[in-house]
Structure 1
Amino acid sequence: MPRCVLVTGSTTWDNPEPIRRALSALPPGSTVVTGDTPGADACAVTVAAELGLEVKRMKKNRADHRAFPGQAWRGLNQRMLATGIDLVLAFHADYGKPGCARGTVHMVEHAKTCWTEVRIFRE
């Protein structure tokens, strides 16, 4: 059965191989949802396209900026998760280090409160 998967992570993530391994394991017809930043988001778009998966790339909007001044990514994270995500793949080498990976941590914590499966990749 196809899945709706959200890819999130570091804007400096530059290794497509862990993303390729994770997305290659998805059933045919799966959809990859991600943001519009460089790093993990951009790698996911490229890899998903190579694998023939549908890609939905989302970006921050005015409502996100109004709701979360200076942290519009919080609104984007909430909207992406609300699209029907059943798995979050988080790619961030500094995940779990104090003061690091704020956006990724926010997404993972929000996903967990929604009972969404999460997998974290640090390398």
Structure 2
Amino acid sequence: MNDSLPSSVLVTGSTTWDNLPSMRRILAALPAGSRIVTGDTPGADACAVAIAAELGLEVTRMKKNRADQRAFPGEAWRGLNQRMLASGVDLVLAFHADYGKPGCARGTVHMVEHAQACDTEVRIFRE
């Protein structure tokens, strides 16, 4: 990501993420005019929306749809992850305290792995 140009940044992570100061530091360092793409769940998504509003950043908030549910029965979040990444993001910021622990962070791991497979830069934050 070129730090001098506005970018489109996907924020993903734990539905229990509540470390606003940590996320605020990261989002405040983004180039002016950056756009935040995120889902509609509590935790990291909701924190990103609130902080982006404070910082005056544009937000695109996406939610699961019927196509996601048909494509991934019981795991529609997989479809949402794919659509969010396909929206043209330059960077994925993943916020999950349990990232890397066996059996934890399934949705976040899916997003990180999908982004990496698509050659999209990923940064992971555990605190």
TM-score (norm 1): 0.99
Secondary structure of the residue aligned to 1:32 is: strand
> Does 2:50 correspond to 1:58?
no
Q: In structure 2, what is the equivalent of residue 68 of structure 1?
A: 72
Q: In structure 1, what is the equivalent of residue 97 of structure 2?
A: 93
Secondary structure of the residue aligned to 2:37 is: strand
> Does 2:93 correspond to 1:108?
no
Give the C-alpha shift of residue 17 in structure 1: 1.2
Secondary structure of the residue aligned to 1:8 is: strand
Unaligned ranges ≥5, structure 2: none
Q: In structure 2, what is the equivalent of residue 21 of structure 1?
A: 25
Question: Percent of aligned pairs with the same residue?
Answer: 82
Give the C-alpha shift of residue 19 in structure 1: 1.0
Q: How many residues align?
A: 123
How far apart, CA to CA, are the structure 2 residues paired with 1:77 and 1:16? 22
Unaligned ranges ≥5, structure 1: none
> Does 2:39 correspond to 1:35?
yes
Q: In structure 2, what is the equivalent of residue 5 of structure 1?
A: 9
Letter of the 1:2 counterpart: P
How far apart, CA to CA, are the structure 2 residues paired with 1:18 and 1:33? 18
How far apart, CA to CA, are the structure 2 residues paired with 1:72 and 1:18? 28
CA deviations over 1:13-62 (Å, ceiling 9, x no partner): 01111111111011111000000000000000000010000000000000
TM-score (norm 2): 0.96
Give the C-alpha shift of residue 12 in structure 1: 0.4
Query: RMSD between aligned alpha carbons?
Result: 0.4
CA deviations over 1:40-90 (Å, ceiling 9, x no partner): 000000000100000000000000000000000000000000000110000
Moved >3 Å (runs of 4+): none
